Structure 1
């Protein structure tokens, strides 16, 4: 079966931190993989023209390294999704989903600390009700370093995986892609460091009894 996969990234790099190895595995199996980015530096005055140009180059480079079948940039302002009317987000998502008709979706976790992640999660859940998007059979949340692990709450909302993907064969390739995001990756003990990425891969691998893995929470799975 030729799966159609869409990974939703509030910001470029979330896709690689959260499920980079898994996306590479999908591509190796011959699946279609599409990358939908919600925010764009060009929509904000908080970045220089040089930064905006560099981000465009980075997105193009990352897309090429993954071999994505398409890149959809919704173009909203970073760190401002909670100010966008939900109807506007839903319309943009509907158009994206209808153009691809994917069966598998990867999205950020509901209780990530970043407001953009929370909004993306809620918008996707709203637009993928079974009677609205019957072609979607799998909805899966990934974890993002410095967002998922910092979503502290006295309630039991912490990330508790119920699915693991053996990514042992794709670790080096994933790390090479992450090097494209050098401005986001800093040195240990910063949570988005290569040491932290590797530590999480090893931890999830040990839980799944493989060398390295990525962990997920399945929200919907229809067989």
Structure 2
């Protein structure tokens, strides 16, 4: 069984970036846990009920994919730059020491969103290749409407066929209907599905999710 850890800045980033891949891992019997750095909505000045609704949506979405365990951290939404990188790293390290993941998925360092960028930086720091590390594979995912809005191009070199999981990814996203937009926004359902179709066509599949392979280490048990 493969142990998988997904580290996302906000609830819904995990689904946007690797929802189909998460579902595929679950289908294969892998152990998947997801970490959320912030609630993803409190920066908007909304009430407690809206925050509670966001976490309920998160639980519904993860249930659709087959994930039973997730971790909520409490960093300030869209203000992760107001806390030290060390404090972020320590929180992730505490979880990582319990999970001992084989594969880690997180954000692309070149994302426009500050929380995405700092989450990626913290993940790279946490899972630096030290003796005794459990991590074999470290991957960065793309998030429509944040990845690609700067000059730092996302150049995928690792693809996962999600043809059998695309509808579950879409169903999970519907849990976050408050975050979906109308066409031609990058976060419209049609755009998200078209991106998966385009990524799939790049590798001869109907639908795929694309990643940047940041590190892959092969060793004997």
**TM-score between both structures, scaled by the size of structure 1:** 0.93
| Greater CA drift, 45-54 or 12-21 | 45-54
- Counterpart-to-counterpart distance in 1, 2:158 and 2:86: 32
SS of the aligned residue for 1:208 comes to: coil
Contact 2:2 2:31 in 1 (8 A): yes
Q: How many residues align?
A: 218
Give the 5 Å matches for 1:1-223.
2-40=1-39, 46-131=45-130, 134-150=133-149, 152-153=150-151, 157-223=152-218
Contact 2:61 2:171 in 1 (8 A): no
- Counterpart-to-counterpart distance in 2, 1:187 and 1:51: 21
Contact 2:43 2:78 in 1 (8 A): no
List alignment gaps of at least 5 residues for structure 1: none
After TM superposition, the runs of 4+ consecutive aligned structure 1 residues lying more than 3 A away are 41-45
SS of the aligned residue for 2:202 comes to: helix
RMSD over equivalenced CA pairs, Å: 1.5
SS of the aligned residue for 1:168 comes to: coil
List alignment gaps of at least 5 residues for structure 2: none
**TM-score between both structures, scaled by the size of structure 2:** 0.94
